[in-house]
Amino acid sequence: QVQLGESGGGLVQAGDSLRLSCAASGSSFSSYTMGWFRQAPGKEREFVAAISWSSGSTYYADSVKGRFSISRVNAENTVYLQMNSLKPEDAAVYYCAASLRGTYPKREIIYDYWGQGTQVTVSS
């Protein structure tokens, strides 16, 4: 069982940066594939980024590639999402998620545990 809690969201201007954090409690954090998803009002939740248990592999949505960076510190049970050059279309509630399955990390269905989300608002 893993409990996840996101932080770091807020209101920023277009072009600014934010770093989201997701703290995990429970056992075996280092065994989990970790992902970030987001959901804007009126839209379905979508994949943003994921990282394998060893940090050996990272995955990104095309819309954020080159601007966002996912990382993790297993010793701290924390995964981060560094977001640079933010755009108004990046505004959403951002969720972190954990999965013991390493395959198909971009697919929401593989994730077993979810945080409560943190709001990111980007003004133009």
Tens of pLDDT, residues 83-102: 999 999 999 999 999 999 88
Residue type, 12: V
pLDDT score of 27 more than 80: no
Task: Report the alpha-carbon distance of residue 100 to residue 95 in Å, rounded.
Answer: 17
The encoded tokens of residue 55 equal 């940090």
Do the Cβ atoms of 23 and 78 come closer than 8 Å?
Answer: yes
16: left (phi over 0), alpha (psi -120 to 50) or beta: beta
Mind listing the pLDDT tens digit for each residue in 41-84? 999 999 999 999 887 899 999 999 999 999 999 999 999 999 99
Complete DSSP assignment for 1-56 = -EEEEEE--EEEETT--EEEEEEEEES-GGGSEEEEEEE-TTS--EEEEEE-TTSS
Mean pLDDT over 103-110 rounds to 93
Report the pLDDT value the prediction gives residue 116, as an integer from 0 to 100. 97
Give me 122's structure tokens: 């980007």
Which are the contacts of 67, defined by CB distance < 8 A and separation ≥ 6?
83, 84, 85, 86
